Structure 1
Amino acid sequence: MFSFMMTSADGYHADPGQALDWHNVDQEFSQFALAQLREAGTLVFGRVTYEGMAAFWPTPAGEESDPEVAKAMNTTPKIVISRTLPQATWADTRIISNHAEEELAKLKQQPGKDIVIPGSSTLTAGLLQTGLLDELRIMVNPVILGQGRSLFAGAGRTSLKLLKTRQFTSGNVLLYYQPITN
């Protein structure tokens, strides 16, 4: 199971207004995103990220922005971890509202492609100490926001082992880390 998140150079995944217009997204990023989605057998979201993704990808605007990514997002099975979401309207989505760690551990034991958490920093932070996350993929965008929502707010101290890096022509740098659980 791995998590992929985008962050500013100063460690924020969202600006104070929750806008994502600072994400450095180009053709190279879209190709990377599609390749990463092809690794996924299941996408797992927290409620806030799920609501944002569900409001975009299954719409004409989502499909026009990147047809291949939209198709992958819309056809991959999805899980949303939420105690407050009453129903999931995005195709092939189920809600886990209780015992999320246990349910994800069971899912992880099943054969198949990776379980991928795209975005969802709060969910990722909450899972860091569980041993369920095999890898963190953190894409650092060449921008300083100065304030916003910290990438790992509330996670507690976690050691990481750098596995590899990838530099994009846009200036983005992708860091692949393995969490070291104590």
Structure 2
Amino acid sequence: MRKLVVSTWMSLDGIFDAETMGQWFNPYDSVSRQTYIRDGILGSDAILFGRKTFEMLAPYWSAQKNNEMGVAAKLNSVDKYVVSATLQKAEWENSTIIKDNLAAAITQLKQQPGNEIQVEGSAILVRSLAEAGLVDEYRFLVHPVIVGKGKRFFQDGLFQGLELIDTKTLDHGVLVLYYRPVKSK
């Protein structure tokens, strides 16, 4: 059975807004961070996206043909699933649209052989997955800056206990925090 792993990059105050990455993400670039990101992508058997994240990444990565950054070939060849009630076509190679019955579809994907289904960003989708009890692990790449405004990864209303299972310190004070949801008793 495969694990469903949520992988996201954020500021210390939970901002993951792509429009402000120049403030909180770009200044903390390092070889150790690049390696962490690359290893995570290369270690996935499938990638799950919400519609907005898919539409943001698909045009760029589908056009990459020389294995840019060491991950383009993987991103273009791996099975990709996009959850959307409105998307009509997913033209990125090996992409499938999941339109309804999210819990059943994801449960079926998790039951297939392999190691890991990775969710990239996709905060709205993650909330639905968390509420359905489908997330097995969270991996937060936390940058040491407080942005103060922007899109937060977790919106009001979601409550989920987490157990810290590992940490990793990267260059420039960037942390990787690994959490597992605490199952209700």
* Partner SS for 1:13: coil
From 124, 138, 141, the equivalent of 2:140 is: 138
Counterpart of 2:39?
35
- Aligned-residue offset at 1:20: 2.5
Q: Any unmatched runs of 5+ in structure 1? A: none
Distance of 1:155 and 1:28 partners within structure 2: 34
Q: Runs in 1 of length 4+ with deviation above 3 angstroms?
A: 62-65
- Aligned-residue offset at 1:119: 1.1
- Aligned-residue offset at 1:19: 3.7
Contact residue 125 and residue 155 of structure 1 kept, 8 A: no
Moved more, 18-27 or 116-125: 18-27
Contact residue 42 and residue 114 of structure 1 kept, 8 A: yes
* Partner SS for 1:150: coil
Counterpart of 2:175?
173
- Aligned-residue offset at 1:77: 0.8
Pair 1:54–1:166, CA change in 2 (3 A): same
Counterpart of 2:6?
3
* Partner SS for 2:45: strand
The letter of the residue matching 2:31 is Q
The letter of the residue matching 1:3 is V
The structure richer in helix per residue is: 2
Moved more, 73-82 or 25-34: 25-34
From 123, 126, 141, the equivalent of 2:125 is: 123
Pair 1:26–1:10, CA change in 2 (3 A): same
TM-score normalised according to structure 1 size: 0.90
Contact residue 129 and residue 181 of structure 1 kept, 8 A: no
- Aligned-residue offset at 1:69: 1.2
